Amino acid sequence: MTKFALDPMDLAALLSSRVCHDVISPVGAIVNGLEVLEEEKDAEMRGHALALIKSSAAEASSRLQFCRLAFGAAGSKGAAIDTGDAEHVTRQLLADERTRLEWSVPRVLMSKNKVKLLLNLCLIADATIPRGGVISVSSAGGEDDLSFTIVAKGTNARVAAAIPALLAGTPEDGAVDARAIQAYYAGLVAEASGLEVEISTIPEQVTIIARPASRERDAAEEQVEIDA
């Protein structure tokens, strides 16, 4: 199947929309808290407003730091990112009472695209357990044969029907919008990293595996296209 090609300008615009969507809620809460401080004289209400501002500012910061690594250049001119930084931003992002993160990726310098892929797969895994649960992240192999495994366990764990096709670069309706851009982008990063992503589901568990792409399968698909 021919992969969907998104115009680079559209890709940038949709990713920007995704980032804005992630931070607009806590930023809006900060604005609301400031308005309460301006108008409210009651000490207890002002205390609640300050608590809201503090928690919302922390949430906005954690989301921005995560997006900076998952979607951006991470402020680094090098070709590698410390996986310890990836763990830190993921823990911050998932720091709530509903979800527990188990991180078993060794702290090393890893190629940017592979770290970006790992973070994007963690986002997909988190979305599969909206009621919370446990997300286990691990890796195997070295830089040349690296693979990731992310397991999300939780009540009614499930993958949105469109996700596999988006990861494969073949959206079912032949288009990608701001709601779908993150999974599509993850597929692009996987391809750039020489990895392929597979998702499997059993009751209460979703497993996402990224492993080196099969050269034999790719060659067979190319031959089919030539023969066609």
- Domain range 6-19+76-222, its CATH number among 3.40.50.720, 3.30.565.10, 3.30.70.3280, 3.30.930.10: 3.30.565.10
Q: What is the 3-state secondary structure (H, E, C) of the chain?
A: CCCCCCCHHHHHHHHHHHHHHHHHHHHHHHHHHHHHHHHCCCHHHHHHHHHHHHHHHHHHHHHHHHHHHHCCCCCCCCCEEEHHHHHHHHHHHCCCCCEEEEEECCCCEEEHHHHHHHHHHHHHHHHCCCCCEEEEEEEECCCCCCEEEEEEEECCCCCCCCHHHHHCCCCCCCCCCCCCHHHHHHHHHHHHCCEEEEEEEECCEEEEEEEECCHHHHHHHHHHHHHC
Return the pLDDT at 72.
86
Q: What is this structure's pTM?
A: 0.87
Residue range 122-130: mean pLDDT, rounded: 96
Per-residue model confidence as pLDDT tens digits over 79-109: 899 999 999 999 999 977 789 999 999 999 9
Domain ranges of the chain: 6-19+76-222
Q: Which of 111-125, 129-143, 179-193, 206-220 has the lowest mean pLDDT?
A: 206-220
Query: Is the pLDDT at 77 greater than 70, yes or no?
Result: no
